[in-house]
Structure 1
Amino acid sequence: MFVTRPAIDVAGANVRFEVVIGLICATGLIGDLLRRRRVPDRSMPLSSWVSLSLVAAWLIGVAISSAFNSPQPASSFSVLIWCGVNVLSAVWVAQHSEAWRTMIRVGVAVNLVCGILAIALWSLATFAGVADVGVQIDPAYGGYASYVAALEANILAGLLCLWGLVAVWNPRRVLPTGLRLLSIAVTPIAIFTTHTRAALVAYCVGLILAAVFRPEARRLVVASALLAIPVFPVLLTSGDVGFSKFLDLFDTATGTGGLRERVNAGALSEWLDSGQLFPGLGFNSFGQRNYDLTQPQLALPGYIGNLPLQIVYDGGLLALTLVILSAAIAMCRLAVKRQLGLVVTFAVPYLLFSVATSALWFLETWFFVGLAWGIHKERTIRQEHEPAGSSLRPLDQSARFIEAKPS
């Protein structure tokens, strides 16, 4: 999910690395089904299957809409297939909870590496003029924005935000302290080098939510602030003119904020005037009708960075209803399983940066959906460190042994 920029042309379609991973996951799911290796304890609960069914209905509906309403149906279907393959990846993740510990460790480690590279590549571009690797020019403000190997700088920013919060929350308590400390030190600075205000705001909100819902993370939240805040003034005086956007985090009248407002208004107007309010205008079809306003001289396809608006434009009211129902079912079940704090800490930041940068069909979205679908038993979380047949954690058992030991 961190390597989405490189692509191979296959029959006119861009095939990216995460698509290959998704196809491997799909093959694995078919193999598991044929071998019947998925035992009931490891399969998704009924509510998750209902949520998945609603997602499938959304994809089918938007496929029909794309066939009839997209100016270039083939282009819509190529991205729709990308999204569908990543949905299958989410199912694979949900059904292989035994690998979650490894996934979490690897994800945080790779995120840390990407964060370090983002800072290093931005430094090389800004101070040494090496602007050929891993950075792009900020078209609205100037300066260099790091993307490392992600499709765009703002896509990397969303990844850094989500996985930085994973390091803070430490699901299942599988992350070593050193990795967490490095992550909380690097993540906000790396987000800064992507020139993405929405991701920085989302990350800060996520830290606050983690401090509220995860008491053991409060020291890390404070440490993150103490480490990052002194660095920001240094970055602001570094000479990168693009950092000026961070002086007004909520500006939506000028710069990229103003451009997004114009795009959102144009997309909403197109949808309302189309007469296709219920089925929508076709998956990822906005760019087939409009150029990218951030770089008009290049005549690149435009895109809707606003996730809710993108869902409505592509699939209409039908898509919006199905997606809301699917998400609500998954979140309600997690709330019942006493995972409300976890849901809020990740869902709110995701929604915050996705109204400026939508990652709807990327694996970075569906990986976390897969985790939500797969958390089906409270004991999976509560007994993560418990030996079989015991209700005590190893530390509790040690304490009990010491108390029972004769003086």
Structure 2
Amino acid sequence: MGRRCDIRLIVLITALVAAEYVASQHIHITPNDMEPVREVLSKYGVTCYGPSPSEFNWRGPKGPISHSPQFRVHSQDLNMPNNQTGLLLVFERVMEEDEGNYTCTDRRRGHNVVIKLTVTKVLEFDAPPNQTTEEYADYLIKCKVKGNIKPTFMWYFQNLTFKEKTTTGKYSVQDGGLLVRNVSHLDAGKYGCRAFETTSDYTVSEDRDINLIVRHKPVFLHHMEGEIIDQYVYYLESANLSCQNSAEPPANVSWSFEHKPFLYPYDHYIVTFNKQEKLGRYKCTVSNPLGTVTRQYQLIEGFKPQVPSGLAVVSTGDNYIELAVSPNKKSDALIGYRVEYIEKLVKPNSLTYESFNMMNFNSTEGPFALVNLKPNTEYIIKISARNMAGVSDFSDPLAARTLPVNINGAGSYRGDGCRRSLLVAALIMVIARTVRL
């Protein structure tokens, strides 16, 4: 059924194209490709046609082409519209031996047309889809093409590309594959191997994906193994103790609290602080046959800082607003502040909308500068206090407006060095104008 469908499709295309050449007295072919290139085992058909009456025959590298459909390569007559006659050359499966010239001849008129068929091989890879190596060793990711051809190769990994015979400190393309030096767990993943076979007549390329598996001991994804991590939590809230890791083979995870193991096989543990007994030392142990890593959390009750008071504007410019705030109590143990500022804009219909921005300050000593603001624009500003446990509620909002743009440069937040640079630039401009005059 598939073969008949393919032949019918070729017949239909041939008929449509033939209608374009009704007035012509010459022999034509369709598809109109005088040097077709086809892969081994693919199907191929080409038709020669011309005005009736015509008597066509096809001849290939091995002689005349038979009309009998029992042959893999044969021809068959086509009834063409608009007083046209056609002869279809059919390749049920293209083979390497079919390469060469094919001539269609009109025996009545003595006209002929010649096509040159080039047959390409399907590149057959010798490239295991999954390859495994140990960490810290050099490894050649294997990717070759079978047969006598000598293709060129290009490799891909993440956002990197390695071309034929290129060498870097970490990777180099070599005969037979891609060499990865001093392999780490970060080198694991999908590599793309592309082979090109190029001749004077054609270029063929094929791709293979290869998954590199790197056997390694567990490694934490966030924070390294080492000191105890202080984890603060508010009363009746939860803390996420994470031991997410990378390991090959995959690691087993175990947990303990105050040196007492408890059954929990996952790499993160959520603790809800609803009683004092839940505060203390948590430890996760992550292990596979290649090694073990541990992480410890000290769960500590945290207290929300007091809301900052005394928020005030110290100074303004055309692109900045400097703020000050009254100090919190020492017991709040602040590590900084968080400022949220809102630009108030007016739409043509007079309705307002707000766009929020946030900035963290890792200091408790002001002033706190909001920079890169728009000139002559009103902002609504709120501030909250930060400590190791979290943030306080926000203060009451404060309205402040940046200054209009000053063409003399004053009022912009650039620092003393920038102001001196602006003055020097202005002086140079004055001198240049004087010289031109």
TM-score category (smaller protein): under 0.3
Q: Relative CO higher for 1 or 2, CA cutoff 8 Å, sep ≥ 6?
A: 1
Higher Cα radius of gyration: 2
More helix per residue: 1 or 2?
Answer: 1
TM value normalised by structure 2: 0.18
More strand per residue: 1 or 2?
Answer: 2
TM value normalised by structure 1: 0.18
